Amino acid sequence: MSKKILILGASSDIGFETVKYFLKKNWTVTAHYNTSKKKLSQLGKRKNLKLLKFNLIKIHLFEKFIRKNSNEISNYDAFVSLTGHMKLKKFHKILPSDLIDHFNVNYISNLLIIQKILDKMKKKKWGRILLASSIGTKFGGGNLTMPYSVSKHLNEFFPSIYKNYYKYNIMINALQIGVTDTKLHLKDKKKNMKKRIQLIPIKKMASTNEVAKYIYFLCSGENTLITNQIINISGGE
């Protein structure tokens, strides 16, 4: 029987490549999206692919959804969060509501799912959880992306209770993703990507396929030792 994975933020560029990679490895995938499923629809109808639409800003509705579908949510073998809510705003104009929206999508949604899946993983003595962070958390974020970076930084926090689960072959990690060739960079029209790439020691961006391979490894049975770690894949930054 194939293993089952839930991927939040599956319609992002990295998310789409990750979905494809897990399908290629014969996993059963539930792929979450919010506004656009155009890219995911390209994968066609498959028995091992389910699409899940949800606006995670409305966290109270997502919490109700999880309670209502508790049995299904708790039965995943792996969970990956690649959510990437980003609203560009100058520091002095950031409102509490901006921070709350980012927290809801990029962190609290993850926590709600983890609360549901850990005990079932413990019974199965197998589980993989991977939360995507960003290289921006290392440097304080960009001039317009503080809410995004601080919400992603929360994914690098490992509650002490997680240590009770590691002995049951449950691996929980954060992936600090470096500059990757995605549309996300197009949001900031003033961003000079050539200059940004020069700050990377290896002098190149990651491809989405490269990142997907790292995600797969950390969530597969090949990962037998890495847990409780913030793993940086940023070309030396």
149/86 Cα distance (integer angstroms)? 9
Q: Within 13 A of 218's CA, how many CA atoms are on the CB side?
A: 28
Which amino acid is it at 210?
E
pLDDT tens-digit profile of 163-172? 999 999 999 9
Instruction: Report the predicted TM-score, pTM, of the whole model to 2 decimal places.
Output: 0.94
> For residue 95, how far is the Cα from the chain centroid?
24
Q: What is the pLDDT of residues 137-190, one digit of tens each?
A: 988 888 899 999 999 999 999 999 999 999 999 999 999 999 888 766 556 566
Percentage above 90 pLDDT, the chain: 82
Which domains can be identified in the chain, with CATH numbers?
4-233 (3.40.50.720)
Instruction: Return the structure tokens found at 212.
Output: 């997907």
